[in-house]
């Protein structure tokens, strides 16, 4: 592969501190640095020794375009390994594997002269209808953050920058360039920002990409609270903020708000607007200095990582195959119909077996170095005499009715049917959302006919977002293959024949139907606003809180072996909770178990989900092997966002710690006391009687003074037993004065409040 990083003009100039380099630039040069020079390159300044660098799409491969540039995958690009998209990588629950994939992506990017690869995407899968869910890792922020950090660490180990995207609350494609995501503070911090925070703090990506949408009415490209207060001040981000391609609304507003680099080129319009704003005093030149400095710092890192580089195409294809096999999720396997034996006669049915659907459409569209298909790989395992194929349906919308009868006839003639179903590329893509969660009607009709002819039917799915599975009770086995990348076809065969013991786990819930999903009544919004009305209850949090039935729960996935859990111990200290559990492979095959740790706080003073995943471990075990697994739950991951004090709080109390194989398959549990932090809000006349009663200073005095009043009220027939206490608990203390029989004045109440606040300040 050819190194195309533009390092023209480099030399001793870039060895100086970035601030010193910027100090020598003209105002016009500084303004030019803050916008791209072309679709994929930054602006270079030859006289200052500042080269242009290349930023290009990922996130699961290097999409370096050859000719005309675009951001929707229309133009051709150089060959690169198409690794499995994030939907499959997320299901591995394996940060070590994802770091290796990130390293391989970095090797390929560096070999092509790319300074920044645009990824990973860690947006939450709020609704399964989001057309871009295949590019995102999970419905859970901890899972997204841990795996996203692993990808960034691997990528940047090769001297290529990551670009964490899309920041923030970009959870749908409908009106993505204008719609406002209206999110309350707690879900915003705890669900939609938490994964980004984890990646920033653990991996320090070189860049963060702002999204197109507005957040609570403000374009993210010009939101100083988001880009400066949260990202830089709260999280300590040290890098550069780049716009999504075309996400800039007002460049003069965006630059001081924290948007350093606009992409792609605006043909000089943005630079001219910035210069005019400096001239008329509406923009301080220091904002230009800061943005230009961050661009120079990015260039310095990219140039330092540039070198003659190459990569092993075959080795990367093998890694893509490994990742695809590890990301496949065995949803069902009745009567151990899988793995298949080599001597079993197999009817391979479904167009996707021959022409795989292996990646999503849009800006992440990769031109693969090679492409496997499942039909060839299955034939390689079982031999041509044991395998026959029928397409059964089309994927281009053409009439496939004539394909059904041959497929059904073939199904009846073989021991087992492996039926490949999935979503055509036109169903899900960047730029639009899905209308429903259905597989195409013609595929479901084919399935019914095939199962009637041969009940021993294994369904293999190819899809970037979850689909409804109304047939789950009609077939003995379902393998969710997701979009498996260029080696996904061979990886599926590896799993079907047992060369790979499936270890993928669902990083998102599969619902029974669309109307069960958390965002169903709040998606995609109206008149440019989408209300995140489900609040904290996203994904499994919603289903578990409602004790609602699902098709397959978060974390679910079967294996060809079995695992036992024993000897759970938990201990808490200032750093968090340490969980130790022994896991044993109790079956007859080597395999991997994803040990999941959930916590809950039933006696919480705030609204919470019954359980939330806080940590996990991917454990490989030989037959009969036992291993004590130690898993650390970070203290900060126990925290909730307290809207009263506008910061993270670890609430004290008795936390449940549940260890298991999914959110619905808890094997062991324990309770541990966490000290946490008591939050004291200063008392005021708006404080309730219950709040005053709980106060160590004011409480006894107020309760004694109110004794006769409460006693007199309780003697009436107005209230049932306990009714008075319930009513008065939320009564504002300032409104007590003036009530007949209340022996305190407003002045006395205020004095008591002042005394309590002063002694506990």
Contacts of 222 (CB under 8 A, 6+ apart): 249, 250, 253, 254, 257, 259
Residues 717, 728 contacting (CB under 8 angstroms): no
Question: Bridge partners of 361?
Answer: 429
Residues 571, 578 contacting (CB under 8 angstroms): yes
Tell me the three state secondary structure of residue 521. helix
How far is residue 359's CA from residue 482's CA, in Å, rounded to a whole number?
9
Helix (H) or strand (E) holding 758: helix 746-759
Query: 460: left (phi > 0), else alpha (psi -120 to 50), else beta?
Result: beta
What is the sign of the dihedral through the CA atoms of 84, 86, 90 and 95?
positive
How far is residue 711's CA from residue 333's CA, in Å, rounded to a whole number?
66
Burial class (CB in 10 A: 0-12, 13-18, 19+), 622: exposed
Contacts of 570 (CB under 8 A, 6+ apart): 577, 578, 579, 580, 657, 670, 672
How far is residue 137's CA from residue 124's CA, in Å, rounded to a whole number?
8
Q: Name the token pair of 67.
A: 């000719």
Q: Annotated catalytic residue: which of 244, 260, 372, 695? A: 244
Ordered alpha helix ranges (H), 34-116: 86-90, 95-111
CA distances from 505 to 265, 329, 331 (A): 42, 6, 9
Tell me the three state secondary structure of residue 477. strand
Contacts of 415 (CB under 8 A, 6+ apart): 344, 345, 346, 456
Burial class (CB in 10 A: 0-12, 13-18, 19+), 575: exposed
Residues 168, 221 contacting (CB under 8 angstroms): no
Active site residue 399: no
- Start-to-end CA distance of the chain, whole Å, equals 65
Active-site positions read 244
């Amino acid at each position: 592969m050819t190194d195309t990083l533009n390092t023209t003009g480099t030399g001793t100039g870039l060895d100086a501190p970035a601030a010193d380099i910027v100090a020598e630039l003209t105002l016009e040069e500084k303004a030019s640095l803050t916008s791209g020079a072309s679709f994929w390159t930054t602006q270079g300044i030859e006289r200052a020794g500042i080269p242009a660098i290349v930023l290009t799409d990922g996130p699961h491969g290097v999409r370096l375009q050859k000719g005309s540039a675009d951001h929707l995958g229309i133009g051709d690009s150089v060959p690169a390994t198409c690794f499995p998209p994030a939907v499959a990588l997320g299901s591995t629950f394996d940060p070590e594997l994802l770091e290796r994939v990130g390293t391989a992506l970095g090797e390929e990017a560096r070999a092509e002269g790319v300074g920044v690869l645009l990824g990973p995407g860690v947006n939450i899968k709020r609704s399964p209808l989001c057309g871009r869910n295949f590019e995102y890792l999970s419905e859970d922020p901890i899972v997204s953050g841990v795996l996203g950090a692993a990808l960034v660490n691997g990528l940047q180990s090769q001297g290529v920058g990551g670009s964490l995207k899309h920041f923030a609350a970009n959870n749908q494609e409908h009106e993505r360039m204008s719609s406002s995501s209206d999110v309350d503070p707690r879900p915003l911090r705890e669900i939609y920002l938490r994964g980004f925070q984890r990646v920033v703090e653990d991996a320090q990506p070189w860049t963060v990409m702002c999204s197109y949408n507005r957040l609570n009415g403000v374009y993210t490209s010009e939101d100083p609270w988001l880009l400066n207060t949260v990202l830089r001040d709260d999280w300590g981000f040290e890098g550069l903020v780049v716009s999504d391609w075309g996400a800039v609304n007002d460049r003069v507003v965006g630059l001081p708000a924290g948007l350093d680099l606009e992409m792609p080129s605006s043909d000089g319009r943005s630079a001219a607007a910035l210069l005019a704003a400096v001239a008329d005093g509406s923009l301080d030149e220091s904002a230009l200095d800061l943005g230009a400095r961050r661009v120079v710092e990015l260039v310095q890192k990219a140039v330092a990582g540039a070198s003659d580089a190459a990569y092993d195409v075959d080795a990367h294809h093998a890694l893509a195959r490994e990742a695809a096999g590890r990301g496949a999720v065995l949803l069902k396997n009745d009567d151990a119909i899988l793995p298949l034996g080599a001597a079993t006669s197999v009817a391979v049915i479904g167009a996707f077996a021959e022409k795989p659907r292996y990646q999503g459409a849009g800006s992440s569209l990769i031109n693969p170095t090679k492409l496997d298909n499942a039909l060839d790989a299955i034939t390689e395992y079982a031999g041509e005499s044991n395998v026959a194929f029928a397409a059964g349906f089309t994927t281009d919308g053409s009439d496939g009715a004539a394909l059904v009868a041959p497929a059904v006839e073939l199904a009846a003639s073989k021991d087992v049917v492996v039926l490949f179903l999935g979503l055509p590329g036109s169903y899900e893509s960047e730029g639009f959302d899905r209308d429903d969660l259905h597989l195409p009607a013609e595929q479901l009709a084919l399935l019914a006919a095939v199962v009637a002819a041969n009940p021993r039917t294994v369904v293999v799915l190819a899809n970037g977002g979850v689909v409804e599975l109304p047939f789950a009770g009609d077939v003995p086995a379902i393998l969710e293959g997701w979009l498996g990348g260029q080696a996904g076809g061979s990886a599926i065969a590896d799993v079907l024949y047992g060369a790979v013991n499936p270890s993928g786990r669902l990083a998102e819930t599969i619902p029974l139907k669309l109307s069960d999903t958390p965002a169903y009544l709040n998606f995609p919004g109206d008149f440019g606003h989408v209300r995140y009305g489900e609040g904290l209850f996203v994904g499994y949090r919603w289903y578990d809180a409602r004790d609602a039935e699902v098709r397959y729960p978060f974390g679910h996935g079967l294996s060809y072996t079995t695992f036992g859990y024993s000897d759970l111990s938990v201990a808490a200290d200032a750093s968090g909770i340490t969980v130790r559990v022994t896991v044993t492979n109790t079956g007859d095959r080597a395999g991997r178990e994803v040990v999941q740790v959930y916590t809950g706080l039933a006696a919480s003073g705030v609204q919470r989900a019954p359980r939330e995943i806080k940590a996990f471990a991917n454990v490989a075990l030989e037959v009969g092997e036992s291993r004590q697994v130690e898993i650390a739950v970070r203290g900060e991951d126990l925290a909730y966002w307290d809207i009263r004090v506008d910061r993270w709080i670890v609430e004290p109390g008795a936390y449940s710690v549940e260890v298991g194989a999914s959110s619905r398959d808890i094997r062991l549990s324990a309770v541990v006391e966490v000290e946490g932090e008591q939050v004291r809000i200063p008392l005021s006349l708006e404080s309730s009687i219950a709040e005053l009663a709980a106060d160590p200073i004011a409480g006894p005095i107020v309760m004694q003074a109110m004794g006769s009043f409460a006693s007199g009220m309780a003697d009436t027939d107005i209230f049932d037993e306990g009714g008075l206490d319930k009513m008065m608990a939320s009564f504002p203390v300032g409104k007590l004065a003036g009530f007949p029989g209340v022996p305190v004045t407003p002045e006395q109440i205020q004095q008591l409040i002042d005394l309590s606040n002063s002694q506990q300040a």
